[in-house]
Amino acid sequence: MENNSSNDKSSINRLFSKYNRNRRNRPLPVLKTDKDLEAEGLARLSIDLPNFQVTDEADHPLTSSPSTSEIAHAFVSRTEGAPAPAFHRPKLDEHGGFANRHSIGFDVPGAVHTIVTPKLKTERQIDSKLVVVMVGLPARGKSYIVKKLRRYLNWLQYETKVFNVGNLRRVNKASQQLDQSANFFDPDNKDGNKIRDELAIMVLDQLIDWLRTGGRVAIHDATNSTIQRRKLLIDRLQQEPDIKVLILESVCTDKTVLERNFRLKLSGPDYKDKDPAKALSDFRHRVANYERAYEPVGDWEEDHDIQYCKLVNVGKKVIAYNISGYLSGQYSLDSLLLLSLERQIFVTRHGESEDNITGRIGGDAPLSAKGRKFSKALARFVKERRIAFALDLARRKIREEKESKDPLKDSDDEEQVTEQEHKEEKKVRATAEAISNSQFTIWTSMLKRSMETAQSFDPDEYDIKHIRFLNEINSGSREGMTYEEIKSQFPTEFQARQDNKLYYRYPGMGGESYLDVIHRLQSMIIELERMNQSCLIVTHRVVLRILLGYLLEWSQTQMPHMLVPIHTVYELRPKPYGVELTSWCYDEEADDFKELKEDAHQE
């Protein structure tokens, strides 16, 4: 055995020495010019043919595992240009599936259509459903992450639903009169553990039933903080051949954030209408019980090759393992869109253009006189709202600082103005000034009417960017027409758009559908979520509907039909529980904006 091993090593060393000598003497590949290709009759070069001189490589089926010396021979043979041994072509899976296996998971609504033959119908669901299993201790931001994930995937037209175990537990608490104080979550409470595991499986069964009826992504929202619980869920999911699993863990190490999250829990359903001091004490005890049994995601999942993504401090740090499949990849790549900083997001259409007056769609017309007046008023209005927002945010920050020192002290008592309060007000003003002077970004499309609407903003004060992604939907060969002209000249086409505005694509070169614009805006949404500064977006009707559809979670049936008139500004403030919306309408006579009490409504 030792002699054979020694011979193998000597053989390998000789082969690699030969390879290195030949490699030094071999010229680099020669790139071919267009004239070379024309001379060889290859002006229309196949997309599969590289534009340099290479030798052919044999394509053989797999054989048994090669020996060490065979590997060495294969390496040298391939680099020398000779056909490689049969074993070099890798398998895609343990069942011997090769490159002709259909990648069914890659499915983008409105952009990708998979051809499925009768033979493949039984495989159609492979990699097409995703279950996200949340993991994390209480008050670690899981609910915030879940809402972000649901909103983003639904906006991309992947039907997504959250299944919360806590909600079912609270329903059972009312019906069975269960004691769900901190003791219920004690890892030594066998009865409590059994009930919580049963509830987790009940919710999982509901989740699976929903996926079977057409859902695409389901989120199991619970702590799932032990390996035993995660194994219980995964064992059940592995009985379903068409479902992939992504474990998503949220870890928070920021004590300030944790303290704020603890306080938010006091207004939640478990502690509503309870004494704040007792509620906070009970919740801290509950968290301590979870911490005793907590087993972070990591070694066990890796030993079993289970894909996971770990978010630390709501996305400041991301750890991903074995991510595969299009939907899983979507979230792991976009998991950084989790910043929870409070800011203002203004979105509006451009001011009235010359084409708006005549009712023509598309085009690149300049602003009308009324549109230019709106532009000037918009700059004044945004500055006023920035100052108001800065004062409000500064007061809340200072109030939270006081409350963090004594969390249960009533901070709303009315007392006579004191020297201390004067100091606090001075601090508020200084903080507000710093906030209002922070960077503010303005995005417009590259069409005249959008860029002209932002001309009244001072570039020294605002970071202004013109972005082609924000251009209006391309109407193809219908650009410059009115809807009445389209209806009279192309009635069938007009009706097709009315029947399904989401999927309808304008005919002609460059014509787009709503879904096309959604995919065009995907990078803008990611950037918008990653930004930590306030911003104003000046765009167009279809783009505005899609942006608001994302921010306000409009359904895919609602979004294409929402009324978003010109000279209306939507001010949004992201919150941990959602988005706070205020709508403002420009009053031309007063040359000012008035708050609208009613929300946007359908056409």
Which residues are known to be catalytic? 221, 252, 472, 540
3-state SS, 474-543, equals CCHHHCCCEHHHHHHHCHHHHHHHHHCCCCCCCCCCCCCCHHHHHHHCHHHHHHHHHCCCEEEEEECHHH
Find all residues with CB under 8 Å of 188, minimum gap 6, and list them.
none
Helix (H) or strand (E) holding 143: helix 142-155
Instruction: Please give the order of strands across the beta sheet that includes 463-466.
Output: 463-466, 440-444, 534-539, 345-349, 568-575, 578-587, 592-596
Task: Copy the structure tokens of residue 308.
Answer: 């996971």
Element (H, E) at 421: helix 419-436
Would you say the C-alpha torsion 290, 291, 297, 299 has a positive or negative sign? Answer: negative
Sheet holding 243-251, edge to edge: 160-164, 217-221, 129-135, 243-251, 308-312, 317-321
Q: How far apart are CA 543 and CA 471, in angstroms?
A: 8
Q: Using CB atoms within 10 A of its CB, is residue 19 exposed (0-12), middle (13-18) or buried (19+)? A: middle
Main-chain dihedrals φ then ψ at residue 432, nearest 5 degrees: -60, -40
Cα 508 to Cα 364, 474, 478, 481, 511, distances in angstroms: 18, 10, 8, 13, 6
Q: Say if CB 334 and CB 526 are below 8 A apart.
A: yes
DSSP annotation of 239 reads T
440 touches 462 (CB < 8 A): yes
Strand partners, 582: 571
Q: Are 539 and 549 in contact (CB under 8 A)?
A: no
Indicate the burial class of 115 (C-beta count within 10 angstroms; 0-12, 13-18, 19 or more).
Answer: exposed
Cβ atoms < 10 Å from Cβ of 141? 23
Nearest-angstrom CA–CA distance, 248 and 153? 15
CA 455 and chain centroid, separation: 32
Q: Which residues are CB-neighbours of 264 under 8 A, at least 6 positions away?
A: 139, 576
Phi, psi dihedral angles at 177 (to 5 degrees): 55, 50
Classify burial at 542, counting beta carbons within 10 Å of its beta carbon; exposed 0-12, middle 13-18, buried 19 or more: buried
Instruction: Give me 191's structure tokens.
Output: 């009865």
Report the alpha-carbon distance of residue 63 to residue 89 in Å, rounded: 10
Of the CA atoms within 13 Å of residue 351, those in its CB half-sphere come to 24
